[in-house]
Structure 1
Amino acid sequence: MPSVIETIDVDVPVSVAYNQWTQFEEFPKFLDEVESITQPTDTLTVWVVKVGTVERTFEAEITEQHPDERVAWTSTGGEVDHAGVVTFHKLSESTSRVSVQLDWEPKGLLEKLGATLGVDNHAIKKDLRNFKKYIESKGTAEGAWRPDNYR
């Protein structure tokens, strides 16, 4: 299973970066291949992604979510088999590091070839640059996920 790890520094506080990242339904604003995401429960997301002319739908279960630190998930059904984690690191009061690790199973010849050529790394890097541009231009998150027991 190929693994992709990419990191970017963003000029917003760690809480702003984390808060925006937990607004999954807003992902199409900065992730190019994401057509839509719905979140029917606190831990279940339903994704529609389109790469080239291929559209895929899958569910992902949030397996771990710690405010201002990390969000982890794994796919649970549909046409995509993957798992990942995003971590958030405070570099200063106004700068954060966002790291994405994604493990996925390419299907079909084109996806296997793309993984071999590093297309997935380039896509994640581009999406992180889009996230940086998006959140820095706003300066604030569109919402936040904070569990009741978080202090």
Structure 2
Amino acid sequence: MGRIEESVEIDAPIEAVYRAWTDRVSLPACMRGGAGRGAAATEVVPLERIAWSGGEDRTGHSGVVTFHRAGAGMEDGTRVMLQLDTEPHGLWDHLVEGLGFTDRHVIDGLAAFKADVERHRPGLAA
């Protein structure tokens, strides 16, 4: 089983980041939590964490995303921390994971999420 742990700092308040995460349909299913391919949310604590398991279709796949205030003020940034546990099935999955493509996919997804949230944040220059 592989574990991927990544985080990103976003220049937006936690409420906006959490809302964007839960509304974002373009996130990979493995990152949304409870969306797609039979995944099911196992825990949802608004503005704090979302945990999920892959369900019957993706046994061995699970994850959790947590949201943390980054700074002293309510309007400061947010740190998003993502942890994914994956269990490759078959030669192709093992190859993809072994070459680091899964990690790269997660890193790129978080970077795109950050850029999108910051681009749409009121009061920030685009």
TM-score, L = length of structure 1: 0.70
* Partner in structure 1 of residue 78 of structure 2: 96
Of 61, 82, 91, 2:40 maps to 61
Matched, 1:9 2:9: yes
Gap runs ≥5 in structure 1 = 38-42, 48-57, 141-151
Paired amino acid for 1:27: V
Identity, % of aligned pairs? 34
1:107 to 57, 68, 89: 89
Residue in structure 1 matching 2:54, options 48, 71, 75: 75
**Deviation digits for residues 84-115 of structure 1 (CA, Å, limit 9, x no counterpart):** 00010101232110011000111221210121
Q: Which structure 1 residue ranges, 4+ long, deviate > 6 Å from structure 2? A: none
Question: Partners in 2 of 1:120 and 1:96 — Cα distance?
Answer: 24
Q: Which residue of 1 aligns with 2:20?
A: 20
Q: SS of the counterpart of 1:71? A: strand
Flag structure 2 segments of 5+ consecutive residues without an equivalent: none
Q: Post-superposition shift, 1:44? A: 5.3
Bigger CA drift: 95-104 or 105-114? 105-114
Check 1:128–1:139 CA distance in 2 against 1; reply closer, same or farther (3 A cut): same
SS in 2 for 1:88: strand
Which whole-Å CA distance do the structure 2 matches of 1:44 and 1:101 have between them?
14
Aligned partner of 1:144 in structure 2 is none
If each structure's helix is expressed as a fraction of its own residues, which one has the higher value?
A: 2
Kept in 1, the 8 Å contact 2:48–2:68? The answer is yes
Partners of 1:68 and 1:102 in 2: how far apart?
Answer: 19
Give the conservation status (yes or no) of the 8 Å contact 2:44–2:50: yes
Aligned to 2:103: 121
1:138 correspondence with 2:120: yes
What SS does structure 1 have at the residue aligned with 2:66? strand
- Equivalent pair of 2:34/2:52 in contact (CA under 8 Å): no
Q: Tell me, what secondary structure is at the counterpart of 1:84?
A: strand
Query: What's the RMSD between the two structures over aligned residues?
Result: 2.0
Change (3 A) 1:60 1:136: same
